Amino acid sequence: MAREQSVGFIGLGIMGGAMARRLMAAGHAVHVHARNRDRAAPFLREGALWADGAAALARSCATVLTIVGGPKDVAELYLGEDGLVANAAPGDCLVDMTTSAPDLARRIAAEAAGRGVMALDAPVTGGAPGAEAGTLTFMVGGEATALAAVQPLLEVMGSRVFAMGAAGAGQIAKASNQIAVAGILLGLAEALAFAEASGLAPGKVQEVLATGTAGGPLMQRLGPKMAAGNPEVSFTIEHFIKDLGIAIAAMPEGATRLAAAALCRDLYAGLADAGGGRKGLQALIEYYRD
């Protein structure tokens, strides 16, 4: 199949794997790369094509999507002689869906533009359930023409696509999302810990909270896990610490400190230091229980 019709994908983790499978199920020719080829093996058996690295992927596909660990991973993939930007052809589109730094997104977009390549920052929210169901929300920074070119692909993986502005704006929107999540998690953990310490069943209180003003998708998804001590993981503490660190670092100089985000990051950092970095976000209640 011609490279114009091929889609490259890097990042076959919990979320990325589900997103790649949705593209494959929709009939797209998906080329994949992973640091560990064993991670890609199930996708290759299902029809994906292997690329030996970022450069090979860029040369094989006119559109490349990435969702990796963090800014360091993004920089390694996109920049340098063996990166996606240097090996893409004019008119190609590179879409980073990682939660990463706004400044890095702007740098990638500028270097790509210098080569006639389009680049978007398009982080997502919706978690693993949203990735599996194809109901993710995309927050996109970059040129409108680039977004128009890849929007049909994004709509295979998500149900909402928001154009946020220039390069880096998608990452700012995602940081805003994570700041809001931090506040919700703090409130939820404290509410359930308070109820439990006062002699009420936290599961029953969570059920009440979910039906009222405090209710919402995060409450419905994590509240029962938090109350019951369910260890099932859909998003890890260590990744959330990374996200909050990005948000705090991106706060404009001279602006008010992000107090809730910083507190939430510090509480999670304590859990991570005690060996809980791979636990799910519901483990925040352990801070109060311990």
* CATH 3.40.50.720, domain 3-166, yes or no: yes
Given phi > 0 = left and psi -120 to 50 = alpha, else beta, which region is 26?
alpha
Contact 141, 168 (CB under 8 A): yes
Give the whole-angstrom CA distance, residue 264 versus residue 274: 16
> What are the DSSP calls for 98-147, one per residue?
S---HHHHHHHHHHHHHTT-EEEE--EESHHHHHHHT-EEEEEES-HHHH
Give the whole-angstrom CA distance, residue 1 versus residue 87: 19
| pLDDT value at residue 290 | 77
Q: Which letter, b or e, does each residue of 14-39 get, where b requires 16 or more Cβ atoms within 10 Å of its Cβ?
A: ebbbbbbbbbbeeebbbbbbbeeeeb
Q: Is the pLDDT of residue 112 over 60?
A: yes
pLDDT in tens, 244-260: 999 999 999 888 899 99
> Domain spans of the chain?
3-166, 173-289
| pLDDT value at residue 5 | 82
Average pLDDT of the residues in 227-246: 95
Q: Which residue has the tokens 């896990």?
A: 225
Q: Is the pLDDT of residue 213 over 80?
A: yes
Structure tokens at 120: 């978007």
Q: Which homologous superfamily does the CATH classification assign to the domain defined by 173-289?
A: N-(1-d-carboxylethyl)-l-norvaline Dehydrogenase; domain 2 (1.10.1040.10)
Q: Active-site residue numbers?
A: 174
| pLDDT value at residue 121 | 98
Q: Is the pLDDT of residue 269 over 90?
A: yes
| pLDDT value at residue 234 | 87
| pLDDT value at residue 67 | 98
pLDDT in tens, 118-175: 999 999 999 999 999 999 999 999 999 999 999 999 999 999 999 999 999 999 999 9
At 59, phi and psi to the nearest 5?
-75, -20
Q: Would you say the pTM of this structure is higher than 0.85?
A: yes
Give the whole-angstrom CA distance, residue 52 versus residue 35: 9
For 92, residues 6+ apart whose C-beta sits below 8 A from its C-beta are: 58, 61, 62, 63, 64, 117, 118
Q: Is the pLDDT of residue 1 over 60?
A: no
